[in-house]
A and B are shown apart, each in its own frame.
Chain A
């Protein structure tokens, strides 16, 4: 199987978010990781390749430091990596999807796997947009995948319910938590990764200039700081009674 993974470099989920003096998101000193949902995608791609044969290529759109996360994916076991390099402008989902689709259109992928959202921007748009631009089927938020011949059986998490879906290849799927347990790169894996191919393509070569953003950020703000409220006093029964009273008459939420 010819498998492609869509990956993104994101803030570590343990990071606090602060704004700089110019109102932008502070990136200084932040830890960056592979988007956690994309880790499931990489793991799944490697497992499918090991079962069915073929090759795994991990693709990302981003700035030069994204090479770090691509190397990690190679160390996990991916065969090849591609950075669609775009240094300056922050791209909107439309632009990112067009670049990815332009790269993928002549690659004859059997399977494309991405995370179901990026934990940073959280739009979840890239997967379905790329599937449509390539004219292939999609199944999002999957928790199980079995490929055989030209078909796949997929389990989709639909707000807690499970849909068992049969789909034709080529297929694009997005990973939900629970799909698998991503492996850590092994030491030999890290050594091997240094020799694996990592191709850098300028986003301009994939038509960035002709692809205008459809949405524009007007600014960022942080949520109002929650201050700790009251800790209730007394024995268990008294605390429970007080809480019930407060929820009904003070907060008026029940």
Chain B
């Protein structure tokens, strides 16, 4: 038994995001021996389409239109509906990203279908897949089944591993010229604020600061540590509320929920609202001068000390170790 799946492969700056390959893996798992078709709507071209095929897609469609270069709900919505009309898939997978969160529910409403958002695991229990998704920002998990007339899923980045690339795989790449009209909301300007280009929800390593950093300048040693590791910089609610950093950096039950391989909690006490957003990280390092701070209860490795002494030394040691590696 198989079911054809369409994957909306997200790209940024002409390059696939990791979550696009993860979505292909998820679709592959759900499709059985059905076909997996990956669609590129943004700014990526044939090289990236081939990468999708090497990582598990059977073929790819590049959807072209000037209005698709920058994401807007109306343009992408129309393009996806045309794609769905053409391919007639039995399901759709995309990333639970800023784009996926905006677009997927709207498409689900049009199709009158269910939507399983923010999936971290898929089990194929017999014929009917069971999805696992975090609730209460990861304080608990829900397992659920979907009405299978159309299986629509968004997956959380960095949870479902993508399939290894296989150079022997090949597949057709088609082009589709979308028809797009009546844009009711138009992007006039994009102000880039993420300097490093490493997105928090997709980062493999995150360096986060809390009230303990004491000021906006106090984030500087953390940024240097992040740079050595190629990490994204996050913050606790305390640091954001105190005005040390932008709310877009906030990790917690309000804010972003992240699951990196490695999480540094620096000058963060470990309030439950923050822990909810990061406790499912694979490895947690806590640096705090209060040995009783609750963050140490969930940290794999802890250093009790003044972050302004510890972090620069740690950065130096890491730089040496990584250059020798």
- Give 1 or 0 for each of A78-95: 1 = CB within 8 Å of chain B CB: 000000000000001110
Q: Of the candidates A123, A231, A243, A244, which one forms a contact with B117 in the assembled complex, judged by CB atoms under 8 Å apart?
A: A123
Chain A residues near B97 (CB-CB < 8 A)? 159
Q: Is B31's CB within 8 Å of the partner chain A?
A: no
- Majority SS at the chain A contact face: mixed
How many A-B pairs fall under 8 Å by CB?
A: 282
Interface 9-mer from A41-49, A69-77, A184-192, A221-229: A221-229
Chain B residues near A209: list those with CB within 8 A.
Answer: none
- Would you call A131 an interface residue if the criterion is a C-beta within 8 Å of the partner chain's C-beta atoms? yes
Inter-subunit contact B296/A16 (CB<8 Å):
no
For chain B, residues 98 to 119, give those with C-beta under 8 angstroms from any C-beta of chain A. Answer: 98-99, 101-106, 108-110, 112-118
* A94 neighbours in B (Cβ, 8 Å): 108-109, 112-115
- The interface bits of chain A over 136-179 (1 if a CB of B lies within 8 angstroms of the residue's CB, else 0) are 11111101000000000110011111111111100100001110
Known: A161-B190, A221-B141. A226 touches B298 (CB 8 A): yes
Q: For the complex, is B88 an interface residue (Cβ under 8 Å from A)?
A: no
Query: Footprint of A on B, CB under 8 Å?
Result: 71-74, 97-99, 101-106, 108-110, 112-118, 130, 134-147, 184-194, 199-201, 205, 229, 240, 246-250, 252-255, 257, 261-262, 271-273, 276, 279-280, 282-285, 291, 296-305, 309-310, 313-314, 316-318, 321-322, 325
Which 9 pairs, one residue from A and one from B, show the smallest C-beta to C-beta distance?
Answer: A214-B114, A137-B184, A167-B185, A178-B247, A132-B109, A229-B300, A128-B105, A125-B105, A160-B194
Show 12 residue pairs from A and B whose CB-CB distance is below 8 angstroms, ordered by the A residue.
A122-B118, A125-B105, A130-B109, A158-B190, A160-B200, A166-B185, A220-B140, A228-B297, A228-B299, A228-B302, A229-B301, A244-B318
Q: Which residues of A contact B (CB under 8 A)?
A: 11, 13-17, 19, 25, 36-37, 92-94, 97, 116, 119-133, 136-141, 143, 153-154, 157-168, 171, 176-178, 212-223, 226-232, 236-237, 239-241, 243-248, 251, 253-254
